[in-house]
Amino acid sequence: MTKLARQRDLSILIAGVVLTVAGSWAIRETPTDWVWPWLILTAGALIGGIGLKRVDGWLPDAAPPARPVKNAPSRRRRVFAWGGVTLAVGVSGWAAWLLWQDAAAWTTAIRWWLAALGLLITSGAVLRAVGRGDHFVRPGLRNENNTPKPSRFPLRWEIVLFLLILMLGVGLRLYRLDEIPAAIYVDETNASLDALYILEGRAASPFGTGWYETPNGYIYYLAGLYKLFGASYWTLKAASLIPALLTIPAIYALGRMLFGPLAGLAAMFVLSVSRWHMTLSRWGWNELMPPLFQIVGTFFLIRGLRERRATDFVIGGIVSGLTLYTYLSSRLVLLTLLLFAIYWVGAPAIER
pLDDT of residue 183: 83
pLDDT of residue 228: 92
- Averaged pLDDT, 25-46: 76
pLDDT of residue 206: 55
Would the pTM count as exceeding 0.85? no
| pLDDT exceeds 90 at position 28 | no
Top-ranked range on mean pLDDT: pick from 158-162, 180-184, 207-211, 281-285:
158-162
The span from the CA of 247 to the CA of 267, in Å, is 11
Reported as a single tens digit per residue, the pLDDT across 294-317 is: 999 999 988 988 887 778 888 888
For the purposes of burial, counting CB atoms within 10 Å of the CB of 133, is it exposed (0-12), middle (13-18) or buried (19 or more)? exposed
The span from the CA of 47 to the CA of 53, in Å, is 10
pLDDT band at 247 (very low <50, low <70, confident <90, very high): very high
pLDDT of residue 174: 94
The span from the CA of 163 to the CA of 238, in Å, is 21
| pLDDT exceeds 90 at position 159 | yes
The span from the CA of 240 to the CA of 281, in Å, is 5
pLDDT band at 14 (very low <50, low <70, confident <90, very high): confident
Helix (H, G, I), strand (E, B) or coil at 273: coil
Domain residue ranges in the chain: 1-58, 66-136, 148-352
Q: Which residues contact 246 (CB under 8 A, 6 or more apart)?
A: 292
pLDDT band at 278 (very low <50, low <70, confident <90, very high): very high
pLDDT of residue 137: 47
Top pLDDT among 177 and 341 is at 177
pLDDT of residue 133: 44
Reported as a single tens digit per residue, the pLDDT across 39-61 is: 887 888 788 778 777 776 666 55
pLDDT of residue 136: 44
pLDDT band at 151 (very low <50, low <70, confident <90, very high): low
pLDDT band at 243 (very low <50, low <70, confident <90, very high): very high
pLDDT of residue 127: 72
- Averaged pLDDT, 5-34: 77
Helices (H), 31-177: 35-55, 74-101, 106-129, 155-174
- Averaged pLDDT, 158-166: 96
| pLDDT exceeds 70 at position 142 | no
The span from the CA of 25 to the CA of 30, in Å, is 9
pLDDT of residue 149: 57
For the purposes of burial, counting CB atoms within 10 Å of the CB of 168, is it exposed (0-12), middle (13-18) or buried (19 or more)? middle
pLDDT of residue 200: 85
pLDDT band at 292 (very low <50, low <70, confident <90, very high): very high
The span from the CA of 1 to the CA of 265, in Å, is 41
The span from the CA of 329 to the CA of 327, in Å, is 6
Reported as a single tens digit per residue, the pLDDT across 110-140 is: 889 889 888 887 887 777 666 444 444 455 5
Query: Nearest CA to 296 among 245, 332, 247, 330?
Result: 247
CA quadruple 246, 333, 191, 167: dihedral, nearest 10: 20
Reported as a single tens digit per residue, the pLDDT across 62-96 is: 555 555 544 445 677 788 888 888 998 899 888 88
| pLDDT exceeds 90 at position 158 | yes
